[in-house]
Structure 1
Amino acid sequence: MSQENAATAGTEVSVYERIGGAATIDRLVEDFYHRMDTLPDAAYLRSLHRPDLTETKDVLKRYLSEWLGGPKLYTPERGHPRMRQRHMHVPIKAADRDAWLMCMRGALEDAVPDERTRQGIDAAMSRLADWMRNVAEPGIAPPGAP
């Protein structure tokens, strides 16, 4: 075994590395916001953002990089993500969660060719998106409920 292989033996490859790193994160975020810009079902979500998405895209890229096991680009600059707390000023219903997931799933489909990896990311994002709901709705279980 070479020294390089010995040094990496037993280490797990992060999701960030498996999907192709920063280039894939860039493609994913750009496609996600393109979908939000163009899909009628995402119009309300898009209206919650500033017209210029430059900063928003940068923040999401930094967050996803770290969240998927890549470089820690988010917390050194912005602190602990506290995603639900950071979004509490925005009413988020089940339909909003679903629209967000629709955009993200489409972007994942285009950016992450490996189905197993994509399914793992989708499952984690689905849990996070559901946790972000902050509006009680009749007949819909609260966030985190089985």
Structure 2
Amino acid sequence: MTAPLQLSPAPDRTLYERIGPEVLHDLVTRFYSLVAQHPDLIPIFPADLSLTARKQEAFLTGFLGGPPLYHQEFGHPRLRARHLPFEITPTRARAWLACMNAALHQTPGLEAQDAAELFAALSRTAAAMVNSPEPEAP
């Protein structure tokens, strides 16, 4: 019998513990600076991204194994339901992931293996948020 694949070098520590709150905050800040400039994402995000960033950081804190900040402040995330009012196409999901991937690579103090683990998890989540087909070409 072979041992299970172990992705994390520290299985006794959550991804949140490995990344830490300061690096997570830096990641979210970098991510939303990229989102604010992305032409595919601008139409579905508010001009002021401060509340959106705060919610994302709270969500990611719990999602990564830290305190359930999002639950405490905003209730259950209900990700799919909260995203239904926004037209999330496959192109927009890929754009969101491209911004996250860039932010992951630009954030000092984020280990490559932790960034890869987080990106894999967020890739699955982004795919699940797609709720609209691509618009038809004119």
TM-score normalised to the size of structure 2? 0.82
Q: Is the 2:23–2:110 contact (alpha carbons within 8 Å) kept by the matching residues of 1?
A: no
Aligned: 1:28 with 2:24? no
Aligned: 1:126 with 2:123? yes
Please list every run of 5 or more consecutive structure 1 residues that lacks an aligned counterpart in the other structure: 1-10, 139-146
Q: Could you say which residue in structure 2 is the equivalent of 1:73?
A: 69
Identity of aligned residues (%): 36
Q: Could you say which residue in structure 2 is the equivalent of 1:142?
A: none
**Structure 1 runs of 4+ with >6 Å offset:** none
Amino acid at match of 1:29: V
Amino acid at match of 2:119: D
Q: Could you say which residue in structure 2 is the equivalent of 1:13?
A: 13
The counterpart of 1:46, out of the listed 42, 66, 69, is 42
Please list every run of 5 or more consecutive structure 2 residues that lacks an aligned counterpart in the other structure: 1-10
Higher RCO (CA-CA < 8 Å; seq separation 6+): 2
Q: How does 1:51-70 map to 2 (within 5 A)?
A: 51-70=47-66
Q: How large is the RMSD of aligned CA atoms in angstroms?
A: 1.8
Q: Tell me the SS of whatever aligns to 2:39.
A: helix
CA distance in 2, matches of 1:13, 1:48: 35
Q: How does 1:62-101 map to 2 (within 5 A)?
A: 62-101=58-97
| Offset, 1:91 | 1.2
Tell me which protein shows more helix as a share of its residues. 1
Corresponding residue pairs, total? 124
TM-score normalised to the size of structure 1? 0.78
Q: Deviations over 1:67-107 (max 9, x none)?
A: 11111110012221111110101111110000000000111
